[in-house]
Amino acid sequence: MTAPTVDTDLDEAPATDDGGRRPAHRYGLLAVTVAVVVGLLLGYAGGLLTPTFTRPGENSPEAGFARDMSTHHAQAVGMGLMAFQQGQDAEVRQIGGDIATGQQGEIGTMQTWLRSWKLDPTGDRPPMAWMPDGAQSVRNGLMPGMATPEELAKLRAARGRAFDVLFLQMMIRHHLGGVHMIDGVLDQSHDDEVRSVAQVMKNTQQTDLTNLQAALKRLGGTL
């Protein structure tokens, strides 16, 4: 199987070490597509730096996290690209672009970990099985915060302010679920590289949450 990817467009704004995002510059859909691909390649390059002398095993928390978070991120990339293309509000478009670029790069890093650990991109364990009581957080086969197919269809069909508000609401829930998963691997992993990358992910998503919640308030939406 191959790593989760998303076939759409977006704008680059990589995360800083403290979880902030540099301002994005809008060059159009072609440049945004290139930015997503570059982010993925940089993620793969970063993952190649992972030490190989202590490889996590098939059923390790690290492997489960890398697999499940890659899937979780892939949905966020798709939603972010929708926001970049369909958003009416300039800040919503930029937030969507930033999330899509950053999380696509992180997918590259996690998939490279799995290859360096000699593990398949996907395993045969249920979602969240690597996390204590993780199965309890799975709803209809979806990991914490993930949108249902019906919710994604509703977002895809929305326009104008209705789209912007719905995107912000859904992405806030998505990020809260992602932070829950990151906390799980931080609690369990002893792999320095995994812990370092996971902490940057958490910092970034917490910064995103602040921006998402502020934008939602500005647009008059509620959770």
* Location of structure tokens 């998402």: 212
47 part of a folded domain: no
pLDDT the model gives residue 83: 98
Look at residue 70 and tell me if it is in a domain: yes
Q: Domain for residue 80, yes or no?
A: yes
| Contacts of range 50-59, beta carbons closer than 8 Å, 24 or more positions apart | 50/112, 50/113, 50/116, 50/193, 51/193, 52/116, 52/117, 54/191, 55/116, 55/117, 55/118, 56/117, 56/119, 56/191, 56/194, 57/117, 58/119, 58/123, 59/123, 59/125, 59/130
76: in domain: yes
pLDDT at 193: 96
Output the pLDDT for position 21: 55
Q: Are the C-beta atoms of 210 and 180 separated by less than 8 Å?
A: no
pLDDT of residue 2: 42
Tell me, yes or no, whether 193 lies in a domain: yes
Which residues fall within 8 angstroms of residue 78, CB to CB, at 6 or more apart?
6, 8, 100, 152
- Residue pair 11/24 in contact by the 8 Å Cβ criterion: yes
Enumerate the H helices of 9-159 as residue ranges.
29-47, 61-86, 90-116, 149-157
Which has the closest alpha carbon to 211: 60, 68, 91?
91
Name the domain count of the chain. 1
Domain that holds residue 123: 61-219
CATH of residue 141's domain is 1.20.1260.10
The pLDDT of residue 54 is: 75
Q: Is residue 123 part of a domain?
A: yes
- Length of the chain, in residues: 223
CB 1 within 8 A of CB 186: no
In a domain, 161, yes or no: yes
With b for 16 or more beta-carbon neighbours within 10 A and e for fewer, the 105-125 pattern comes to bbbbbbbbbbebbebebebee
In a domain, 50, yes or no: no
Give the pLDDT of residue 10.
41
The token duo for 43 is 């993620």
pTM for this entry: 0.79
pLDDT tens track of the chain, all 223 residues?
445 645 444 444 444 555 655 544 445 666 565 566 556 566 555 555 545 457 999 999 999 999 999 999 999 999 999 999 999 999 999 999 999 999 999 999 999 999 999 999 999 999 999 999 999 999 999 999 999 999 999 999 999 999 999 999 999 999 999 999 999 999 999 999 999 999 999 999 999 999 999 999 999 999 8
Q: Which two tokens stand for residue 207?
A: 């910064």
Are the C-beta atoms of residues 98 and 207 closer than 8 Å to each other?
Answer: no
Residue 131: closest CA among 216, 194, 53, 68: 68
